[in-house]
Structure 1
């Protein structure tokens, strides 16, 4: 039996919603076991009361950091130091960072260089630099307590040029002579190049996302699964 992946969870309690901790841990359970669970902040602050209420329930270790200087966040530094210590001293496969703060981007790139898989969680306000640096990033605003995608009120997905180009490039990288690409192969290609998850666009699965965009066509093969093709390829190919 294959040993489960070991996960270290670091929470920036100053910049993360406590109400989503159940969702976070449920998501991480898909990848392995969360052996290390730490939350950082000034626990004397009333702003962290919501986190205090869930620490014991979810076996999260609170790490105290006083606000030594007004306007400066010592929490970030403490979290980074602990994460770097674990990179060098503990056998961890995956690191999870829960924060909407862009300051952790250098930590993510350093951990990636060490071959770690990085999962990020944050709110929609999270800067793109942090989002894109993670192996996978999920917006907590868009997932409810049952892990169901929340309907996102935004313009047509077809107008998201970056998304459409990414999907088309993933198809082109794995298509056959007729332009058809296996859905699973498309997903693997995307995961190598972007911090992508269909739930961030309001869809539970990648197939649901493709189905909602009339720029692509899909077909099912009983023996090998779902295939996708760019409609432009069907027209000109």
Structure 2
């Protein structure tokens, strides 16, 4: 469970991430702890990385230069991996944030977790399953996009939400939620929403209600309509709706 005082190392693959997204990424990371180390890796002689200059300066991210000495070899990835292991060996960090859509970081994420350190991954939806599943939590960059203020409060905003009927037709989602509720439920069949969310993320590191356009898990669960939901002093709880008995 992330704590506000957790120290985090943020390592960014500039070849793989647009600087336009770094504001939203760092805002998300702030929920998990304090980014005490922020580094972005790339060959800064490349014209396509020029946009990172202002972003790195604004957010006090240390640019790490790595020349592509050999065609077809990703020297940037190697530099990031070496630094990550050096930082891991210091024992100072409770979490690592790897910002990339590259599956080359799969083994790195697994190795960090072997030391009991949490790994937060950030990448596009195209990110291979192997890297996503190697993280404790993986967030799609697309769900972190910041909407224009004048659009955010209009009727157009909810249109990005997957409608309830389509949610109920998503067999993978509904099956996973049913299993999580069943596992987390007490003798009366009620499960705490927070526990359900934790189970879902353990089984699917990229699980995030925002993937379906819902800001909160409670909003997603309500929209699906398969569960009875109650709000109690201790939080929100839910259980699978009982089927109507035949007349």
TM-score using structure 2 length: 0.86
Following TM superposition, by how much is the alpha carbon of 1:167 offset from its aligned partner in structure 2, in angstroms? 1.0
Q: How does 1:1-237 map to 2 (within 5 A)?
A: 4-145=5-146, 151=160, 156-195=166-205, 196-221=207-232, 223-231=233-241, 234-235=242-243
Cα distance in 2 between the residues matched to 1:35 and 1:205: 28
Q: CA deviation at 1:56?
A: 0.8
Residue segments in structure 2 that go unaligned for 5+ positions in a row: none
Q: Within 2, Cα distance between the matches of 1:235 and 1:15?
A: 48
Shift of 1:30: 1.2
Residue 25 of structure 2 contacts residue 144 of structure 2 at CA under 8 Å; is this kept in 1? no
Query: C-alpha distance in 2, partners of 1:48/1:3?
Result: 32
Q: Deviation per CA, 1:165-197: give whole Å up to 9, x if none.
A: 221111011212332211122122223333122
Instruction: Determine if contact 1:23/1:146 at 8 Å carries over to the other structure.
Output: no
Secondary structure class of the residue paired with 1:37: strand
Contact 1:8/1:34 (CA < 8 Å) preserved in 2? yes
TM-superposed CA distance for 1:87, in Å, is 0.6
How far does the alpha carbon of each residue in 1:116-164 deviate from its partner, in whole angstroms, 9 at most, with x for none?
Answer: 1111111111111111221111111122226989826799223332222
How far apart, CA to CA, are the structure 2 residues paired with 1:118 and 1:86? Answer: 13
Aligned-pair RMSD on alpha carbons? 2.4
Query: Measured at CA, do residues 84 and 146 of structure 1 come closer, stay the same or move farther in structure 2, by a change above 3 Å?
Result: farther
- Cα offset, 1:236, TM superposition: 7.9
Q: Hey, what's the Cα distance between the residues in 2 that align with 1:129 and 1:82?
A: 21
Larger mean Cα displacement after TM superposition, 31-40 or 190-199: 190-199
Output the TM-score relative to the length of structure 1. 0.90
Query: How many residues get paired?
Result: 233
Q: Write the distance in 1 (CA, Å) between the matches of 2:212 and 2:86.
A: 35
**8 A Cα contact 1:102 1:129, kept in partner:** yes
1:36 Cα deviation after fit = 0.5
Q: Deviations over 1:203-225 (max 9, x none)?
A: 1111011011022221223x222
Distance 2:177 2:4 in 1: 33
Contact 1:168 1:230 in 2 (8 A): yes
Contact 1:22 1:145 in 2 (8 A): no
